[in-house]
Chain A
Amino acid sequence: MGFEAILQILIQGLNMGLIYALAALGISLIWNATGLFNFAQGDLLTVGGYVMLSTFSHWALPYPFAFLFTCGVMGLAGYLLSQGYFFPMFSQGLHPDVIVIGTIALTVLVQNGILLLWGPHAQRFTTPLGDSPVHVGEVIVMPYYLWNIAVVVVLVALLQVFFKKSILGIAMRAVAQRPVTASLMGVRTDRLVALTFLLATGLAAVGGILIAPVIPLIPEMGGLVALKAFAAVLIGGLGSFAGALVGGAIVGVAEVVFATLVVSTYKDVFIFAILIAFLLVRPRGIFSAEISEKV
């Protein structure tokens, strides 16, 4: 296979992998703070995409403003979701499985809500950078690939700074590691859990915004992205930042490579087989979480 062909495949794979990575990041964030595996992350991502569709495409607000608006709205939704729904369930001492199933019920609500609000027709919008392919030698790159990479890099850098340097970030890590001690030190656990949700939904919103030029927005999109995101987050290491990114990249690239070299119909089976293999051999993934789980 020619070098350019390989490069092309890699680029396609990384493009999808970025999206999976963003969803995986959100899942890891919530997991770290609360021990809850958010099955609705993919659907939250989809909602983000749809909200951006309305603000950017339908109401024709300028892209940066629409971007921030969408993230803000989604963040707020996450905050309210946490305060109103999930945190009360935590504090009631409800069985953790029930809460997880709450997220599953949430996926049904979100998917049908999207259907109701935005209709069943597949929709799409694109970045102001346009849709003309950019030719780098024999390799073709879409302008929004570069934009997506740039956004994710900046985002990850910001998050790292946030968690390591800012008070809020440190407080969040404290709550994740030692909730009781953190609250003894005066940290308001409920607010921080809400903040975590805010951050996670904000991330989902970004993911949704970035995904729309690549994949058509349909109400069921959440479920489809979610499965690959789960694979990404578990392969990379649940709870680990780097793991989410690497896991996403691996899933994205492996998908395309398998589809090209072997057969495309079974590429999902291939990914799941890798996932199961990891679960059997190294469940904690490639990068075991730096932040330890709640014990």
Chain B
Amino acid sequence: MKRYKWLLGLSLGVFFAALMLVGCQSTQPKTIKLVHLAPLTGSASSYGSFGVNAAKMAVEEINSNGGVKLPDGSQVKIEYTEVDETSNSAGAIEGTKKAISLDPLVILGPNRSGGVLAAEKLWKEAKIPALTDATSAQTTRLGNPYTFRMQISSEYWIPLLVKTAVEKYNVKRPAVIYGLNDYSKANWVATEPAMAKFDLKPVIVQTFNDNDQDFSAQLLAIKKSGADSIFLYGYTPEVGKITRQRSELGMKNLPIFSERAASVPSVFDLAGKENYEGMVTTTTMSQGDPDPRIQEFIKKYDAKYHQAFSASHVIHYDSVYIVANLVSKVGLDREKIRQELAKLDYQGAMGHYVADKEGNLVHHMRTQVWKGDHWVMLLSENYPVER
């Protein structure tokens, strides 16, 4: 035993030292602590970077103007940390635990529905409000008063998409193809009833798996069915490939109606200019919106990051401003902030945010179409707020 004892002690010591190092936190002055859970690695990582960039931009703007003024007159700055929620649910749980350990005032994110479902009990227990980003309807129906949604649930987006297809494109025989993941499947679930309202039925429904590389089987089936349009729900690589492959297989004339993941710039790169032309997507904010506040945001983002971005993934810019605004009203109290969030009525740069009884904060929806080299807004609707 003698020979092993020191080795044991050493290894354990090193191990715990490492762990302790991880948890090292020095005492700090008062700040508004924001932790942003975003997918920085893994398959959803393209979305994570936009959200983080937008949020950081807001934080820097506010801090450079001196920070936020508390009701007691003092000024505090925002302390912003991003935590990788990875792109799977175990990662979301770990990321959330890490976020909670940083003792934030408010959590931004998670981005993925799967992540929200996996981790929501955690912030409920910790009594930290979370401004989540996911679109599947369930996430705000779990009876969690700390979950707020800074997105549109697919239940509302899809009807607008279908309406756009019918009113602007005269769609009569839609085909639907969706991926087998939480985000896309939720969109499909909302599609059937939405189509029924317009007396439409999909002529064919196809599915694919995430990380599939070839969609010829599904696309050929769609071609055979004589559909006049394709409703496509999936993540970036698959949406890009399908958009391209449909043209390759002779269906270039079929317009594609898709959801926010399709407006990510990399889909444009993947699909290719000619194939992406005419893509219709839902979004919370359209770059084609003439509203001066939105155009100003776009200019600022572009000047700072010099990259194209996906409009529906940058909403946390306004999240930061909302939190700052609430803090200036009620101070650094989580419970009070939560109560304020529950009755929110705030005009942000990208829209008007009103809280409904489920905690959904965003009600302004748009659809947009890509023409040439820019987005053109099509329909714009606010869905009713149920208090």
Of the residues B48, B214, B240, contact of A256 by C-beta under 8 Å: B214
Count the A residues whose beta carbon is within 8 Å of the partner chain — how many? 34
Task: Tell me, in angstroms, the Cα distance from A268 to B208 when the chains sit together.
Answer: 11
Interface size class of B (residues with CB under 8 A): 35 or more
Say whether A264 contacts B270, CB under 8 Å: no
The answer to whether B49 has its CB under 8 Å from any CB of chain A is yes
Say whether B220 contacts A265, CB under 8 Å: no
Residues of B within 8 Å of A260, CB to CB, are 216-217, 220-221
Given the contacts A8-B220, A265-B209, A120 and B49 also touching, CB distance less than 8 Å:
yes
The answer to whether B211 has its CB under 8 Å from any CB of chain A is yes
A2 closest partner in B (C-beta):
B224
The answer to whether B63 has its CB under 8 Å from any CB of chain A is no
The answer to whether A16 has its CB under 8 Å from any CB of chain B is yes
Nearest CB of chain B from residue A53's CB, rounded to whole Å:
11
Task: Tell me, in angstroms, the Cα distance from A255 to B45 when the chains sit together.
Answer: 28
Of the residues B48, B209, B241, B247, contact of A215 by C-beta under 8 Å: B241
The answer to whether A122 has its CB under 8 Å from any CB of chain B is yes
Say whether A265 contacts B217, CB under 8 Å: no
Residues of A within 8 Å of B211, CB to CB, are 220, 224
Say whether B216 contacts A9, CB under 8 Å: yes
The answer to whether A140 has its CB under 8 Å from any CB of chain B is yes
Say whether A264 contacts B208, CB under 8 Å: yes
Say whether B250 contacts A140, CB under 8 Å: yes
Say whether A120 contacts B241, CB under 8 Å: no
Nearest CB of chain B from residue A115's CB, rounded to whole Å:
6
* Cβ < 8 Å to A, chain B residues 29-43: 40-43
Task: Tell me, in angstroms, the Cα distance from A216 to B210 when the chains sit together.
Answer: 13
Nearest CB of chain A from residue B256's CB, rounded to whole Å:
16
Say whether A264 contacts B218, CB under 8 Å: yes
Residues of A within 8 Å of B248, CB to CB, are 131, 133, 140, 142
Q: Fill in one digit per residue for A115-158: 1 if any B CB lies within 8 Å of its CB, else 0.
A: 10001111110100001010000001010000000000000000
Say whether A120 contacts B41, CB under 8 Å: yes
Residues of B within 8 Å of A264, CB to CB, are 206-209, 212, 217-218
Binding site for A on B (CB under 8 A): 40-43, 45-46, 48-49, 180, 206-209, 211-214, 216-218, 220-221, 224, 236-237, 240-241, 244, 247-250, 264-267, 269-270, 272, 274
30 residue pairs from A and B, CB less than 8 Å apart: A5-B220, A9-B216, A9-B220, A12-B216, A115-B45, A120-B42, A120-B48, A121-B264, A121-B265, A121-B269, A122-B46, A122-B236, A123-B266, A123-B270, A124-B269, A126-B272, A133-B248, A133-B250, A140-B250, A215-B213, A216-B236, A220-B43, A220-B211, A256-B214, A259-B218, A260-B216, A264-B207, A265-B180, A265-B207, A267-B217
